[in-house]
Homo-oligomer: A and B are copies of this chain.
Amino acid sequence: MSQLARDCLKNLSKYIPGKQEEDVKEEFGLSSVIKLASNENPLGPSPRALRAAKKALKESSKYPDQHHVPLRSALAVKFGLSPDNFVVGNGSDEIMLLIAQAFLSSGQEVILSRNTFSVYEFVAKLMDGRLLHVDLKDHACDIDGFIEKINPKTKLVFLCNPNNPTGTIVATGKIENLLSKASKDTVVVVDEAYGDYCEREEFTSAATLIGKYDNLIVLKTFSKIYGLAALRVGYGVASRKLIECLNLVKMPFNVNRTGQIAALAALDDAEFVKKSIKNNSLGKKYLYKELSKLGLSFLKTQANFIYIDLKRSAEEVFVKLMQRGIIIRPLNSFGLPMAIRVTIGKPFQNKEFIKSLKEIL
């Protein structure tokens, strides 16, 4: 590390992404691979979004809309809120960064689950925050554990709901309980990147609480159910006061033009969303059945991936699956070295995964 770097850079860990298809093909001499490692939509991008993006490309020499006006207006209609309740980011992970930049000063407390999406911890460390971890309880966010740790000095709370990588949810009522106990000076972030896949009734988007709690930010993304991970568009929903701060710290042209236009079109693609949910739902049932037959311990999921506790080192299984052309995610980097996370794919992909897994175990 260069001596010129800020001290807190020493604490930063590199993000470990899913292995890339091309790299795995080359490394293992394979002609095709199935990637179930990054929770991408196996049906591809929303066709409506794709058509709009293609049209938009010819204007690529022009700077994108700094204020994302059409997209924020469409989101306002979707949520029954005002455009001033939305901030759009270069993926929802950029909004996590904006949150830390806007609200977190050196040494202030951040509370988050121990085994969850790593970017919360990353942005907190980047702004030199002090991390307090809460262990998962029955593989889910332990809201009572959060409430126990929360205090007037807590500046930020990150919740992932459904939780990545366990696919578990906490009911909206529990989140409201946390909000009612938190100080008004604590910003509570609920990341619902996978919320669109949730099939349980006790989950409703925390965005329904925006009018009631000025310190709540809900994060959503176009990377998952709309299939636009490549184009980097996510958004945050919050009170005007918080959104104003996030817009103030964002770079002027943070979201590329193609992404903005594709996202806007994707919002209208109800048919694609329906198809994506159906594929996920069917794949989930198939995988439950097959994993049960194999006697494996897994969690019922409210997302587009399944958490499997192998009760042995996941690294070896990960490599053996790769040799067979299947990329999944071993959860070492999530602090769970005995478990894997597998994206629910198309029927043939799920079958190939099960087939290969059988060969290995």
Write the residues of chain A forming the contact surface with B, with a CB cutoff of 8 angstroms. 1-7, 9, 12, 14-15, 17-18, 20, 35, 38, 40-41, 43-45, 49-50, 53-54, 56-66, 90-91, 93-94, 97, 101-106, 119, 126, 185, 187, 215, 223, 227-232, 241-242, 244-245, 248-249, 251-259, 262
Are B6 and A104 in contact, with the CB atoms below 8 A?
yes
Are A50 and B58 in contact, with the CB atoms below 8 A?
yes
Are A256 and B258 in contact, with the CB atoms below 8 A?
yes
Are B40 and A4 in contact, with the CB atoms below 8 A?
no
CB < 8 Å neighbour of A66 from B17, B49, B119: B17
Are B44 and A61 in contact, with the CB atoms below 8 A?
yes
Are A5 and B262 in contact, with the CB atoms below 8 A?
no
CB < 8 Å neighbour of A63 from B105, B126, B215, B229: B229
User: For the complex formed by this chain, how many copies does it contain in all?
Assistant: 2
Q: Which residues of B contact A105 (CB under 8 A)?
A: 6-7
| Minimum C-beta distance from A224 to chain B (A) | 9
Are A252 and B102 in contact, with the CB atoms below 8 A?
no
Known contacts A93-B253, A230-B256; 17 additional CB pairs below 8 A are A1-B245, A4-B245, A5-B245, A9-B248, A15-B252, A17-B253, A20-B65, A50-B60, A53-B60, A54-B57, A59-B230, A64-B229, A64-B232, A230-B257, A231-B256, A231-B258, A232-B253
CB < 8 Å neighbour of A251 from B59, B65, B93, B185: B93
Q: Which residues of B contact A241 (CB under 8 A)?
A: 2, 4
| Minimum C-beta distance from A350 to chain B (A) | 17
Residue from A61, A102, A104, A259 having most chain B Cβ neighbours under 10 A: A61
Are A2 and B245 in contact, with the CB atoms below 8 A?
yes
Between A and B, 25 residue pairs with Cβ closer than 8 Å are A2-B241, A2-B242, A3-B185, A4-B215, A4-B242, A5-B245, A6-B104, A7-B105, A9-B248, A15-B66, A17-B63, A35-B62, A38-B63, A40-B62, A53-B57, A54-B57, A62-B229, A64-B230, A90-B90, A90-B254, A90-B256, A94-B254, A126-B249, A230-B257, A232-B254
| Cα distance, A35 to B63, chains bound together (Å) | 11
Are A256 and B253 in contact, with the CB atoms below 8 A?
no
Beyond A60-B262, A231-B256, A252-B93, whether A6 also contacts B50 by CB under 8 A is no
CB < 8 Å neighbour of A60 from B119, B228, B245: B228
| Cα distance, A102 to B1, chains bound together (Å) | 11
Q: Which residues of B contact A20 (CB under 8 A)?
A: 65
| Minimum C-beta distance from A265 to chain B (A) | 12
Beyond A18-B63, A60-B227, A230-B61, whether A126 also contacts B101 by CB under 8 A is yes
| Minimum C-beta distance from A223 to chain B (A) | 7
Q: Which residues of B contact A18 (CB under 8 A)?
A: 63
| Cα distance, A92 to B253, chains bound together (Å) | 11
Q: Which 10 A-B pairs have the closest CB atoms?
A: A230-B257, A61-B227, A45-B60, A15-B252, A2-B241, A60-B230, A232-B256, A63-B229, A45-B61, A5-B245
| Minimum C-beta distance from A182 to chain B (A) | 12
| Cα distance, A245 to B4, chains bound together (Å) | 9
